[in-house]
Structure 1
């Protein structure tokens, strides 16, 4: 029973953190599963492939739960989300197959490097100024926030699909939602309002996790008892995170997450090198 409680807790924390800032939660679930498998007797037999496979299944539920919550606040841009998914979907499938070639040590080094990259992005994104919206933007939209302020944002579909393909590849190979890269891209390059970027990112996480998980299920990478134990915590955690996102500024949580991810990334790299 101990493993069920641990997995419920991991799912709850990952779902809440992932939903608040649009990460999807996989960036917490994957290292947590690997940690408890390699350093304790609570979880057994978790390879990088299983950790990623389980994570992608959980991302379906965190993505859906968050999307349903954000729908009530009308912050999900469905059309833009589908365009980004046109790149994320194929990228995720290719990434899932690429994951087969990684053993634990190589996975730790690559995933640790990726986690540190995400941490750096979170550190510098608030210091970067969004680019101005160009005149030749093909898709241009307006959003009025709850304070009555109008925001204009937009993008060219080809650019969005190319960027999201790379994000989808990372999502498929590492089992993360991809929001850690999509959200800053939306805000800085395409001028999405932050709340719209986060909500739309979770919609993309939901869609891309469907295709990613099917691929990982086909490859036999999903431990179903572990997945079923994670799902309830991830579902309610995502709802809690979406509520926090609409009520509070998430600066404090982001600052904590920056440090946590930096620590996780360094630890994974050291484990991979010394393993």
Structure 2
């Protein structure tokens, strides 16, 4: 479901000026951080029974289209939007939301990359260098996450999003 949003977002990214991009993205990050911080309930179990877990599939599909769109416009993997939304709106537990989001976004990112590539938006050498760091960091994060309290992960993510959002807004205005 993220694919249509990823393709449309890739095309619409051309219409943002640098200033409007940074301000819009900064406010998006802050909004997500506040929603995540104030709406996360303590979890009693970090596991999820795959056979009995229920969620609103229509809301999940709609959410994925929006995530694909926003992640393609802002050039993010989408997990920064997807994981908080899965926790808050769909009732996923933090660890399950993270793993599920990785799977969904790996597929949709490929389509966003293909579209941006066709549009000539990608600088190959920097993408490969930065991508290698992401691969290493993802392995470390996947190793550490199950050993970390879900609420701690949520608080750190909220704090990081607020700092990044404020930095983007302030650096654009000043």
Q: Normalization by structure 1: what TM-score?
A: 0.56
CA distance, structure 1, for counterparts of residue 70 and residue 47 of structure 2: 36
Residue 96 of structure 2 corresponds to 196
Residue 14 of structure 2 corresponds to 100
Residue 215 of structure 1 corresponds to 115
Aligned match of 1:155 in 28, 45, 55?
A: 55
Residue 167 of structure 2 corresponds to 267
* TM-fit CA distance, 1:128: 8.6
Q: Which has the higher strand share?
A: 1
Q: How many aligned positions are there?
A: 173
CA distance, structure 2, for counterparts of residue 155 and residue 229 of structure 1: 38
Q: Normalization by structure 2: what TM-score?
A: 0.85
Greater C-alpha radius of gyration: 1
* Compared CA separation, residues 146 and 158, structure 1 to 2 (3 A): closer
Q: Pairwise CA RMSD of aligned residues? A: 2.7
Residue 173 of structure 1 corresponds to 73
* TM-fit CA distance, 1:210: 0.3
CA distance, structure 2, for counterparts of residue 147 and residue 160 of structure 1: 20
Gaps of 5+ in 2: none
CA distance, structure 1, for counterparts of residue 80 and residue 145 of structure 2: 15
Q: Is the 8 A contact 2:10 2:115 kept in 1?
A: yes
CA distance, structure 2, for counterparts of residue 159 and residue 147 of structure 1: 22
* Compared CA separation, residues 270 and 151, structure 1 to 2 (3 A): same
